[in-house]
Amino acid sequence: MESKNTPFKVGAFFAILILVVGISLTSGFVGSFLGNRFFPKLVSSDNGTVTEITRQKVVDEENATIDVVKQVSPSVVSIVIKKTGFDFFTGPYSQEQGIGTGFIIDKDGIILTNRHVVSDTSADYIVVVNQQNYDVKKIFRDTAHDVAILKIDVSNLTPVELGDSSQLQIGQKVIAIGYALGEFPNTVTTGVVSGLGRSVTASSGTLGTSEVLDNVIQTDAALNPGNSGGPLLDYSGKVIGINVAITSGAQNIGFAIPVSSIKPVVEDFQKYGKIIRAYLGIEYISVSKELAQARNLHEGAFISKVVADSPADKAGIQGSDILYEFGGQAVDDTNTLTKLIGEKKPDDEVKIKIWRNGKTSEVTATLGEAPEE
C-alpha cells in the first residue's frame, strides 16, 4: 500500500510562526504592564530598592539620636565628691572623684539625681555643668524613691523635659547619657526598653547597703558605674527614667526608675521648696522569711530604735517589735517598710500590725513629716 506525503506549504508555516510570535510579544507586554502596575516592588531587577530603604532607616535613626543628644547634653551634669583629710607626710589634702550623673530640672540650679549618689552626708559635692564647677549648696534626699535634689547657685540653665513613663512600650528605643566610670562625661549609649515593672535588689559596693527597687524599667542600653542619676530618654528627648543600677555578671541589663513615680516628688519640691515625705520615726532591720523561720520570729521589720515623741512612739510601738503589716499590706522583702511609708503622706492614719513576744496586736499611727537629712 502506497503512503501519501502531503506537501507542507511554506505560506502556512510563516502564518503560524507570526501568530506564535505575536502571542508571545503580547503576553510579555501585558505581563510586564500588570507587574509594574500592581506589583512594582516585586519586579525590581536587583535589591537596590530594599537596600536603599534600609539605609535610609539607619540614617533617620542616627539623625534622631544625634538630635536628642544635642538637645539634652547641655542639661546633663557630672557629680563629683570632694574629700578632705590629713596625710602624715604631706599634711591636709583635698581629693575630687567623679561618682555619678544628674540632670537639670529647673533653670535656677536645681539638679535631680539618685540619693545613693550623694548618700555621704559628711562629704562636700561639686556639680560640673558644661565644664564649669559649682559647689552644691543644699541636698534634699528622698530615701523612699532613691532620689535627691541638689541646689547650686547659678541661673539661666537649660532644664530637661520630663516625659510620661506610663506610656512606655517594650521594644521602644531609648538613649542613656551619663558620666561613665566617673571619668567620661556625657557618654551616650542606646538600646531598647527590654522589660517593665521589674523588682530588683540594688546594692552599693562602697557603702555596703542594699535596697529593693520596685517597678523599674529594664533596658539593654549600656550603663556603667557613674551613670547612676543620669537620664534615660525617649526619642523625643524627654526623660522617661533615672538610671539607677546595673547587673553585675551580666551584659546589657540595666535599670531605671520610671520618671512618672518621681514627678510627685519634683512637684512637691517646686511647690514647697523641699521634699515632702511621710515619717514614722523608727529604725529597723528587715527580717526575711528564711530568718524568721530559723529564729522562730515573724517576717517583717524588726524595730531597733523608736524616736522619742515620734508617730511610732505615740502609737505605742516599742523596740524589738516586729512590724509585719502596714496599711493593710504585708511587710516583706518586696514590700519593705521604707517603701510602704514612702507611698503615704504626712497626716495619713495607718493601721499597723505588730508581733511582740510571740503575740500579735494592732495599733494606729498618724504619720508626720520627715525631717530633712
Positions marked active-site: 116, 146, 228
Is the distance from CB of 102 to CB of 152 less than 8 angstroms?
Answer: no
3 state DSSP class of 196: strand
Strand pairing of 209-219 and 184-204? antiparallel
Residue 258 identity: P
For residues 285-306, one letter each, b for 16 or more C-beta atoms within 10 angstroms of the residue's C-beta and e for the rest, the string is: ebbeeeebeeeebbbbbbbeeb
- Which regions of 107-182 does DSSP assign to beta strands (E)? 110-113, 124-129, 132-142, 147-152, 173-180
What cell was used for 289?
A: 522569711
Can you tell me the distance from the alpha carbon of 199 to that of 257, in angstroms, rounded to the nearest whole number? 11
Grid coordinates representing 113?
Answer: 539625681
Calculate ∠ Cα 69-230-370, nearest 5°.
145
Question: Rounded to an integer, what distance in angstroms lies between the CA atom of residue 283 and that of residue 310?
Answer: 12
Cell of residue 95, nine digits? 581629693
204 and 118 Cβ atoms separated by less than 8 Å: no
Contacts of 240 (CB under 8 A, 6+ apart): 163, 164, 165, 168, 174, 217, 232, 233, 234, 256, 258, 259
Name the DSSP class of 21.
Answer: H
Cell numbers standing for residue 25: 510579544
SS3 assignment, position 37: helix
Distance of CA 369 to the CA centre of its chain: 28
Sign of CA pseudo-dihedral 320, 323, 324, 330: negative
For the four alpha carbons of 300, 305, 307 and 309, in that order, the dihedral sign comes to positive
